[in-house]
Structure 1
Amino acid sequence: MPLPPPPVRPDPDHLPSEAELRRDLAAAYRLIALFGMTDLVFTHLSVRVPGPPGDTSHRFLVNPYGLLFEEITASSLVLVDAAGEPAQPTAWPVNPAGFVIHSALHLGSPGAQCVMHTHTLAGMAVAAQAGGLLPLNQISAEFHERVAIHDYEGVAAEDNPGERERLVRDMGDRPCMILRHHGLLTTGRTVAEAFYWMYYLEQACRIQLAAQASGAPLVIPPEPVVRRARDQVEEGPLRGWLPWQALRRKLDREQPDYAT
């Protein structure tokens, strides 16, 4: 197989079209399924769709309720408003209650153009630990002081509107969140960035559980070393774009229908 051409570093100020966002988000759904981070038809990934100049309405793409993540395609994604109600004709229902957390962060956190939420075994196990995510390795060091914590208030729903404000307050300017007794959440200025955070936050949780299960004493690096490791990783709006190109090529080869 010939090597693909090297990816061209994108313009960080590029404003993607709805069609581009549909393909990116559909790819993210397939990859979440591929890497074993789904919860049947539950949980959501969402992305903000920019409107025309001067348009102040809020529109987002989200999965139709009832499809497995491995079934999601670009065209099956549903355009919804800030309340999670469909803003386009659709034969499939959407789950407005499941969009509560997403809409709160989309509207309240400037960097949350894309929001991803999972209920994985590793993520929920770490979410039940008092110490949260520990800087036990190079991967988890990248999350040092970048993971917010939100205490459990029951299933997020419209009958608890104050939780929206608390979610945004707890998130602050951090890109990732552990929802106590619930799961993991990441945000990004792009789908690629949010997926990067989610993939590695999940890996950090899996590594932590494996280390704890060994029964051996845990060794945590000194604080200055953890901070240095965190700061050595590239920041900026293009975080995650390089592995994202490779993952998209994988899907183009193995699951090309995601883009339809």
Structure 2
Amino acid sequence: MVKARIMLTSESIRSELAKAYQIIAMLGWDDATYTHLTHRHLTEPHFYIQPFGLLFEEVDESCLVEMDFSGNLIAPKDAKINQTGHAIHSAIYQARPEIQAVFHLHTPESIAVSACPQGILPISQHAYHFYERVGYFDYDALTLHQDTQGKTIANQIHAHVPIIMLRNHGTIVCGRTVQEAFFYQYHLQKACEIQCLLDPLKAESYVRPSDDVCRRAQRDILNFEKDLGLRDWQAFSRKLARKKAFLKS
């Protein structure tokens, strides 16, 4: 049974964000200490991010760093954060006030698909979530800057485009809740895994539904439930709780 929608408080925001780090680590989607997940502050022009240097599995709500959109540390003042994380996330939060959570990951499958000229192909039901809903950003530097690349990325994101494929780099996934961002991330990862099983040289020969069918599938999928991603989020939260209980036993 799906529980009621999670009510946002400062405490629940930190708790859900920390849980997102741990669930993604459990699924093997993390990349050492190099990627980042964030959540907008409830009332202030700030956001939460993990300290630079922690593995995702090490992140809990007590260690999350609060910072403002200019890059000033709010608490703790002596924390170390990934500057690329600040550049990406602050630009998105400033440009898109409806966005509450942003995930930036480097999974091998998503990087491989980002390097394909066609990007994500409409060849699986997972991919239909994103039909005509993905932006692309060409690789131009190891370090991204808020005033240049950050703003360019943020300007591609809108209500119909919550996903950015960073060519040769990774992905950015945005959501109105942590649960929604995770929902998109889950299906994006599955779509990329499936696409990686196929021969890219034969892409034109794959069976694909018509544009109209893909658009209808996308509408059906995204309107299937009221709180997008909540049911799956609660299921993975239970899975994480069972894993923690097993490790303690």
TM-score calculated relative to the size of structure 2:
0.89
Once the 2 structures are TM-superposed, how far is the Cα of residue 161 of structure 1 from its aligned partner? 1.8
Return the letter of the residue paired with 1:221: P
Q: Name the counterpart of 1:54.
A: none
What aligned pairs does 1:245-260 form with structure 2 within 5 A after superposition? 245-255=234-244
Is residue 229 from structure 1 mapped to residue 224 from structure 2 by the alignment?
no
- Aligned partner of 1:10 in structure 2 is 5
Q: CA deviation at 1:156?
A: 3.8
Q: What is the distance in 1 between the residues matched to 2:71 and 2:179?
A: 23
Number of aligned residue pairs:
243
Alignment of 1:1-260 (within 5 A): 6-10=1-5, 14=7, 16-51=8-43, 57-89=44-76, 92-158=79-145, 161-173=147-159, 174-212=161-199, 217-235=205-223, 238-255=227-244
Provide, for residues 157-210 of structure 1, a one-character-per-residue CA deviation record: whole Å limited to 9, x for no partner.
33x722233112222331111111211110001101001111110110110010
2:2 partner amino acid: P
CA–CA distance in 1 between the matches of 2:72 and 2:197? 41
- Maintained 8 Å contact 2:26/2:240: no
In structure 2, runs of 5+ residues without a counterpart are none
- Structure 1: where are the runs of 5+ without partners? 1-5, 52-56
Q: Deviations over 1:185-236 (max 9, x none)?
A: 1000110100111111011011001022796942111111111111111348
One-letter code aligned to 2:17? L
Q: Judge which range, 191-200 or 235-244, deviates more.
A: 235-244
Structure 1 pair 209–109 and aligned structure 2 pair: CA distance change class (3 A): same
SS in 2 for 1:37: coil
Structure 1: 4+ residue segments shifted above 3 A: 213-217, 234-237
Contact 1:149 1:171 in 2 (8 A): no
Deviations along 1:124-179, one digit per CA (max 9) or x if unpaired, are 11111100000001110111011111222212433x72223311222233111111
Task: Provide, for residues 65-111 of structure 1, a one-character-per-residue CA deviation record: whole Å limited to 9, x for no partner.
Answer: 11100111111111111133321126642123332111111111233
Higher helix share: 2
What is the one-letter code of the residue matched to 1:20? S
Q: Distance in 1 between matches of 2:80 and 2:89?
A: 17
**Stretch moving more, 93-102 or 221-230:** 93-102
What SS is found at the alignment partner of 1:135?
Answer: coil
Residues 128 and 180, structure 1, Cα contact 8 Å, conserved in 2: yes
RMSD: 2.2
Matched residues in 2 for 1:90 and 1:41: separation?
Answer: 20
